[in-house]
Copies of this chain bind each other. A is one copy, B any other.
Amino acid sequence: MSDAQEMLVTAYDEALLGLAEGGIPIGAALFDSHGTLLGRGHNRRVQNDDPSVHAETDAFRNAGRRRDYRDTIMVTTLSPCWYCSGLVRQFGIGAVIVGESTTFTGGHEWLAAQGVSITVLDDRECIEMMTKFIADRPDLWNEDIGVVE
């Protein structure tokens, strides 16, 4: 298992936790460049009734206040939406590892153009999890990405 794949396990476990809570199964984790976990989290729209907590924002929050994100790596099960891509850009997070961008593509190419290191893993389990969730709960999924039906 590559380092990236290994870090993805933490994000994937967060997504499973969110699913078990009745939420949207997207997980994320922030690591430093040595692979030390700084914070992990998952989408909390349903659980907290809070539209502002995406997986990446939850992991970022749980990592606490920091002065420098250049050496950090945001690992997420799904391509970061514009909200979460904006987070990465504003705080200068140096790298993003994306579980998959098959079911949804946010701003990871825009981030790459800004110099952020982007790795897309095309992880089969991440794809299956989101494919099933989107089929089961299109209403919730569309709400979470601001798509008006």
Contacts and interface: CB of A to CB of B under 8 A. Distances in A.
Describe A's contact surface by its main secondary structure: loop
A34 to B, nearest CB: 19
Can you tell how many copies of this chain the complex includes?
Answer: 2
Contacts of A53: 61
Interface in A61-80: 61, 64-70
A68 B145 contact: no
Contact of A83 (B66, B87, B145, B149): B87
Interface string A71-112: 000000000011111110111100000000000001100000
Given A45-B65, A64-B49, A83-B91, A70 B107 contact: no
B65 A51 contact: yes
Contact of A86 (B49, B60, B70, B107): B107
Contacts of A92: 146, 148
A43 interface: no
Nearest to A142: B67
Contact of A90 (B58, B67, B145): B145
Which 8 interchain pairs have the tightest Cβ spacing?
A: A86-B86, A91-B146, A82-B90, A52-B61, A82-B86, A83-B90, A82-B89, A83-B86
